Structure 1
Amino acid sequence: MTSERVFIGCYSAPIGTMENKGEGIVSCLLDTNTGEFSDLKHTAIAINPSYLITTKNNLLFCVQEVFAEQQPVLSCYHINDDGELNHNQDVSMSGEFACHLAIDPKGEFVSTAHYGSGSFELFPLSNNNELGSASDLIQHQGSGPNLERQEGPHGHHISFLNHSDTLVTVDLGIDTIGFYPFDRSQGKILSQQAKQVELPKGCGPRHVIFTKDETTAFVLCELSEEVIVLRHAKGQWQIAMRCHPFEEHDLGGAMAAIRLTADERFIYVSGRHQAQIACLEVDSQYSLRLVERIDTLGLFPRDFNLSADDKWLVVANQNSHNVVSFKRDPNSGKLTTSDHQFETGSPVCIAFN
């Protein structure tokens, strides 16, 4: 059997009126021939681990979605050969409700995004994988037209560009994508040199993904339930296309996750209210065409991810407490259920090792 280790972050404490049933971080093996899950185990106790990332040297980083008074931390674990996690370190974060994190391409920094406080933090990472205290902070201000969801800034995504020392921020509350150069030697963010890309008011951007050459970006907008295509030319980012993958409804915007295949031919997005994954084909001009929408066999798919070979898609259905695998056709992009799933409380993040 050939397999990949999967780590799942599961909400473990109430958030507002939402009751959660998770146990922190669990892991399992995905059979890359059949899509079957095995070796399910509880690997770490964590309060509302909202986002996980793994590295090539067997590290796992995790943020927890909690209030500042609950002492939110950025956690680092070592992944053992059997999939167990050894806790290495916790570093305090100042922002509230951390919901995303990223590691820079050179492995020298980790950055976090905070929904509650509308802030983003930068942490140095040493050669021996030791996290330092936050070296700098971005604090957004402002609000958007959606009075219920955009009463203030809401950081929802952070990433590092590969071709320059730049942090990319996505703020759902103020409808902006920010590009922040940073000084690698000092660990300082050069905020005065930052550029902001203004998106349509009220769209509520949640995540962004880039093509390998970083001249095209695909922005998933939670509130307007669309994907906005941005193209970079002559030093400026411009909107090239707006695509609505799901049918209209009156339940409020709740698109959640977006992934781009390695060959850059297909994009997948999740709609939580629809309980669907949509497949979009990317043409040579970076326009998007809907291929299909498929039921996730559960409720409220908050996150999903692609296996290393892009042959499998694994989705976390938060409200039905199940994780499901789908076989992916690399030519058509279409998904087929493997008929394999397992139960785990309130899964919200999927990370392959």
Structure 2
Amino acid sequence: MSVRTRETIRVLVCSAGSNGDGIVDIELAADGTVTERTRVPAANPAFLSVHPDGKSLYTVERAAGGRLVAYRLNDGCGDLSRLNERSSEGAAPCYVSVDATGRYAFVANYRGGTVAAFPIESDGRVGEASDVVRHEGTGPDQDRQSAPHPHAIEPGPRNRFCYAPDLGTDRIAIYRPDADAGELKAAETEPATARAGAGPRQIAFHPTASVCYVVGELESTVSEFSRDRESGALTAVGRTSTLPSEFGGDNAPAAVGVHPSGRWVYVSNRGHDSIAVFAVDRASGSLERIGHQSTRGETPRDIALSPGGEFLLAANQHGDSLVAFAIDGDGRLDARAELAVPKPVCVTVLDPR
């Protein structure tokens, strides 16, 4: 087994293939080559997040009614040690995040209509849920929006607020976590409202400007929101299609990522099977679509950027592949390598320490 060097980066992928679900441990080299190192069994893992100290990992599994699982990250040997698990406090969990202090993990349950907070113990294990909040409401799409469907819950900059896009209600719930009580308290500001029928799915924050970007899964858009640093309030200020004008097929964008420089935003298109590339206006944070790059596979469910911004990785769920793209000086993508991975649904790049 190879030993990681300073020139390589560790990548973890949730794989839900027919030959056995698992978490795939991958090495990303300086030239963009991706190599599988090992695989740990897991039951239909849907998403993962790494603790800020880099020593533990949290996944949500769509098994046993939905659960949150903690792992120890064993540096150097590539193995993961399963620590413990808890009920996700809902059905079909689809997202997990960890706050910047490493004290709490947050979970979004798509079919359960709930978001939940879980304390993280000193050894990396997760405690019983300290708070569970049930969303309410519907949207105009009778097939996809007949009930709440939280699709993500993500701590914002400075760790003061959590934002939970809800595909079923066209709202982005805003919470002010109480770390002492372990509660997801509603922020004093009202939830942000997306366009009716947009289906907000994921959210990503600009590294320096007070703006964030939200994917509208049901209308193939990415919307820009200004963010009030003090109240946490979001105000919609712009919306851009993720598709070329000539495309007329079915599409459902999935993941959004902001380049570490803040100069570009990337959104994966499932249907068009591409990454939409947007330039960010330095003054306003608004977006201009500058192109598309084929993901060289079907249904790009997730994307991830390397910490230094040199690479973008795309997980093609129905293409059974992970593709590494180099990012050039104009933000455009150049495919460098491809690795066969059964049904990859989430990809996370660890920050080398």
2:45 counterpart (46, 49, 67):
49
TM-score, structure 1 length as denominator?
A: 0.91
Relative to structure 1, the CA distance from residue 57 to residue 145 in structure 2 (aligned partners, 3 Å threshold; closer, same or farther) is same
Residue aligning to 2:87: 92
Please report how far the alpha carbon of residue 213 of structure 1 lies from its aligned counterpart in structure 2 after TM superposition.
4.8
TM-score, structure 2 length as denominator?
A: 0.91
Write out per-residue CA displacement over residues 8-45 of structure 1, whole angstroms, 9 at most, x where no aligned residue: 10124xxxxxxx5552211111112x211224321x21
1:77 equivalenced with 2:71 (yes/no): yes
Query: Quick one: distance in 1 between partners of 2:314 and 2:187?
Result: 39
Relative to structure 1, the CA distance from residue 124 to residue 214 in structure 2 (aligned partners, 3 Å threshold; closer, same or farther) is farther
Query: Quick one: distance in 1 between partners of 2:251 and 2:101?
Result: 36
1:237 equivalenced with 2:227 (yes/no): no
Instruction: State the SS of the aligned residue for 2:157.
Output: coil
The residue type equivalent to 1:280 in the other structure is: F
1:280 equivalenced with 2:278 (yes/no): yes
Residue aligning to 2:264: 266
Residue aligning to 2:29: 31
Identity %: 28
1:119 counterpart (111, 114, 122):
114
RMSD after superposition: 1.9
CA contact (8 A) 1:144 1:175 kept: yes
Query: Quick one: distance in 1 between partners of 2:99 and 2:172?
Result: 18
Please report how far the alpha carbon of residue 232 of structure 1 lies from its aligned counterpart in structure 2 after TM superposition.
3.0
Query: Quick one: distance in 2 between partners of 1:74 and 1:204?
Result: 25
Q: Which runs of 5+ in 2 are unaligned?
A: none
Please report how far the alpha carbon of residue 164 of structure 1 lies from its aligned counterpart in structure 2 after TM superposition.
4.9
Relative to structure 1, the CA distance from residue 336 to residue 121 in structure 2 (aligned partners, 3 Å threshold; closer, same or farther) is same
Residue aligning to 1:168: 163
CA contact (8 A) 2:249 2:272 kept: no
Please report how far the alpha carbon of residue 72 of structure 1 lies from its aligned counterpart in structure 2 after TM superposition.
2.1
Please report how far the alpha carbon of residue 309 of structure 1 lies from its aligned counterpart in structure 2 after TM superposition.
1.5
CA contact (8 A) 2:174 2:187 kept: no
Residue aligning to 1:8: 13
Please report how far the alpha carbon of residue 247 of structure 1 lies from its aligned counterpart in structure 2 after TM superposition.
2.8
Instruction: State the SS of the aligned residue for 1:130.
Output: coil
Residue aligning to 1:327: 326
The residue type equivalent to 2:295 in the other structure is: T
Residue aligning to 2:217: 222
Query: Quick one: distance in 1 between partners of 2:176 and 2:50?
Result: 24
Relative to structure 1, the CA distance from residue 216 to residue 78 in structure 2 (aligned partners, 3 Å threshold; closer, same or farther) is same
CA contact (8 A) 1:181 1:194 kept: no
Instruction: State the SS of the aligned residue for 2:152.
Output: strand
The residue type equivalent to 2:312 in the other structure is: L
2:193 counterpart (189, 198, 206):
198
Please report how far the alpha carbon of residue 293 of structure 1 lies from its aligned counterpart in structure 2 after TM superposition.
0.4
Residue aligning to 1:301: 300
Query: Quick one: distance in 1 between partners of 2:108 and 2:239?
Result: 25
Please report how far the alpha carbon of residue 183 of structure 1 lies from its aligned counterpart in structure 2 after TM superposition.
1.7
CA contact (8 A) 1:270 1:301 kept: yes
CA contact (8 A) 1:21 1:346 kept: no
Write out per-residue CA displacement over residues 282-330 of structure 1, whole angstroms, 9 at most, x where no aligned residue: 012111111220111111111111112211111111111111111111x
Query: Quick one: distance in 1 between partners of 2:262 and 2:96?
Result: 23
CA contact (8 A) 1:180 1:194 kept: no
The residue type equivalent to 1:296 in the other structure is: T
CA contact (8 A) 1:301 1:315 kept: yes
Relative to structure 1, the CA distance from residue 213 to residue 37 in structure 2 (aligned partners, 3 Å threshold; closer, same or farther) is closer
CA contact (8 A) 2:13 2:348 kept: yes
The residue type equivalent to 1:4 in the other structure is: I
Query: Quick one: distance in 1 between partners of 2:28 and 2:344?
Result: 16
Residue aligning to 1:344: 341
The residue type equivalent to 2:274 in the other structure is: Q
CA contact (8 A) 2:88 2:109 kept: no
CA contact (8 A) 2:108 2:150 kept: yes
Please report how far the alpha carbon of residue 151 of structure 1 lies from its aligned counterpart in structure 2 after TM superposition.
1.2
Write out per-residue CA displacement over residues 188-232 of structure 1, whole angstroms, 9 at most, x where no aligned residue: 222374631111100000001112357211111111110110113
Residue aligning to 1:17: none
Q: Which runs of 5+ in 1 are unaligned?
A: 13-19
Query: Quick one: distance in 2 between partners of 1:251 and 1:25?
Result: 32
Relative to structure 1, the CA distance from residue 237 to residue 23 in structure 2 (aligned partners, 3 Å threshold; closer, same or farther) is closer
Please report how far the alpha carbon of residue 261 of structure 1 lies from its aligned counterpart in structure 2 after TM superposition.
0.9
Relative to structure 1, the CA distance from residue 138 to residue 247 in structure 2 (aligned partners, 3 Å threshold; closer, same or farther) is same
